Amino acid sequence: MASIRDLKKDINFVLGDIIEAAYFWEASNPKEDHKEAEAIVDDSIALFDELISKVNDQTVENRRKHLKAVNTELEEKAGKLIDRVNAL
């Protein structure tokens, strides 16, 4: 883990790219139903809030292990969101 700042940037960039992809799909397919794309955006925002609050949590015993777990959670949940975007 390089730094907390890098982890926060990773969270921001990864989830921002997923949201951008969902909005791009909406713009490219104006006649399609956008409910699933909107749900992906909402889930991405909720995941962002959840992960940032975990990164900012100072009460954990082993901070390094906790931040690695947050990074792993980001990879897993972002992968699921990407699969949902690809399925649109």
Given a cut of 60, is residue 1 above it in pLDDT?
Answer: no
pLDDT digits (tens, 9 = 90+) for 12-26: 999 999 999 999 999
Per-residue pLDDT band for 7 (boundaries 50, 70, 90) equals very high
User: For the whole model, what pTM was predicted?
Assistant: 0.90
Count CA atoms closer than 13 A to 88's CA, side-chain side: 28
* DSSP symbol at 62: -
d(CA 43, CA 65): 25
Residue 3 has a pLDDT of 85
Question: Average model confidence (pLDDT) for the chain?
Answer: 93
Per-residue pLDDT band for 42 (boundaries 50, 70, 90) equals very high
Amino acid found at 53: S
* DSSP symbol at 87: T
d(CA 78, CA 84): 10
